[in-house]
Amino acid sequence: MKKILIPVDFSEPSSRAVAYGKKMALAFDGKVTLLHVVHDKMMYNDSGGLTAASRAPTVTYLGEMLEKDRADAMEMMEKYKEVFQGTGVEVECIVVEGSPADKIVDYVEENLMDMVIIGSEGIGSALRRVFLGSVANRVLHHVKVPVLLVQ
């Protein structure tokens, strides 16, 4: 059984990656993992406060935002899970926090995934034309397993 990782940011291309992932899972007798990384970049931003005490409310607020993002992501992934209904394909949904490309690459290595199916673009492309998003680009260059880019 092949372990297929589909990183999702809920953009159109990532939805297409999920749809293609279904075909691949059926063809390869695959088990699918949907992974969303909640970007925690803002946690490191300086909130402007001079003392630890004055920064605390901002950090708490950002912590709540991360929790909200995590909950929203889980809900949206349940929708993606429906794509596989009736196929017999095993699907698990995972949400982690951190830098998206790094976390995706770590996940592939730590869990010995056999294949990655990823959108060539994501939510960032709505405002400008790119051929390959930065997350897709970094994943492509850093994992040692086959990567399928879905346009």
- Interface ranges with ligand ATP (CB under 6 A): 7-9, 11, 13-14, 17, 35-37, 39, 100, 118-119, 121-125, 130, 133-136
The minimum distance between CB 94 and ligand ATP, in angstroms, equals: 10
Residue 87: which of ligand ATP, Mg ion, none does it interact with, CB under 5 to 8 A by kind?
A: none
Contact 122, 136 (CB under 8 A): yes
The minimum distance between CB 54 and ligand ATP, in angstroms, equals: 30
Of 88 and 129, nearer to ligand ATP (C-beta) is 129
The minimum distance between CB 77 and Mg ion, in angstroms, equals: 17
Of 39 and 70, nearer to Mg ion (C-beta) is 39
Contact 128, 98 (CB under 8 A): no
> Which residues on neighbouring strands pair with residue 118, listed in sequence order?
149
Contact 70, 36 (CB under 8 A): no
- Buried residues in 97-110 as b, exposed as e (16+ CB within 10 A): eeebbebbbbbbee
d(CA 59, CA 62): 5
Q: Which amino acid is at 26?
A: L
The minimum distance between CB 58 and Mg ion, in angstroms, equals: 24
Residue 30: which of ligand ATP, Mg ion, none does it interact with, CB under 5 to 8 A by kind?
A: none
